[in-house]
Amino acid sequence: MISNLQSTETDATRRPTPASASLLEAAIERGGLHPFFHAKFSLHDRKLVGAEALARIATPQSGLVSPAAYVELAERSERIDALTYVMARAVAAHAAGFNGLPCSINISPMSLERPAFADKVAQAIGDSGLDCKQFVLEVTESRVLEYGANAFRTMTALRAHGFGLAIDDFGAGPSNIDRLRNYPFTEVKIDPAFTRLAMSEPYAKAALVSCVRLAHDHGLGVVAEGIETQEMLDLMTWLKVDQLQGFLLSRPMQPADFKGMLQQG
């Protein structure tokens, strides 16, 4: 059931910090990424059914911080794949103690353009002795970036390895419903901004209803992320999404704390 354990994150994890190329390389070469885990709960019975891994990067000034700026730097410098492999290995090392609980890892849409990406990220997981079927790769929709010519091929290869594939932040960026039909996704994650808009704007609510229905009609799971208020929870209950994630239910936790919550059941 949902735990009352609080996040062990510090304020530093939320403060933006300028990205440093040297720290990025240190994170890649010396394992400077530290995963936190954000629980996912079943809408039906509120049981813990999965987790999303959220990277934190070690900096000398602020301790562990969100790596958003480093992701952008890694994309610009074509180091995003290497950063993803490091993250995958770090997550898998902890997920080995999760008793098979599904775990999500964020990936960049840019990585889908490299046909070798599928085999390399599968190897990063396989080196830990885990099965790729335990992992879902979340492709962000928040960037104004169209999928390139290799995206379908790479996604198909990832699915062949056993990975689940999720559209992350659906509704926040250039989300295209056709992607639900034309790419081998297994899951849709609804952006909290889309949810908040649907609570006050009838057209947004109608669009959200259509998206959830379409996803379910195509056999995709639907995860509502960023659930912060009872009103948001009530809307998602009415929509009959499959899973819930957000601060109202649980905050991101360091691995030891997350394992403690998992052991509580």
Report which DSSP code applies to 218.
T
Residue 259, exposed/middle/buried by CB under 10 A (0-12, 13-18, 19+)?
middle
Bigger pLDDT: 233 vs 179:
233
Q: What is the mean pLDDT of residues 93-107?
A: 95
In sequence order, the 6+-apart residues with CB closer than 8 A to the CB of 107 are 84, 121, 137, 138, 139, 140
Quote the pLDDT of residue 14: 46
Query: What are the b/e assignments for 3-19, b being 16+ CB within 10 Å?
Result: beeeeebeeebeeebeb
- CATH superfamily, domain at 11-264: EAL domain (3.20.20.450)
**DSSP H helical segments within 162-264, as ranges?**
177-182, 192-200, 202-217, 230-239, 255-264
Q: What is the mean pLDDT of residues 6-24?
A: 59
Quote the pLDDT of residue 4: 32
Assess whether pLDDT exceeds 90 at residue 68: no
How confident is the model over 134-159, as pLDDT tens digits?
Answer: 999 999 875 556 788 899 999 999 99
Quote the pLDDT of residue 1: 34
Quote the pLDDT of residue 12: 41
What mean pLDDT, rounded, does the chain reach?
Answer: 88
Closest to 88 in 3D by CA, of 158, 183, 146, 170: 158
Tokens of 5: 């354990």
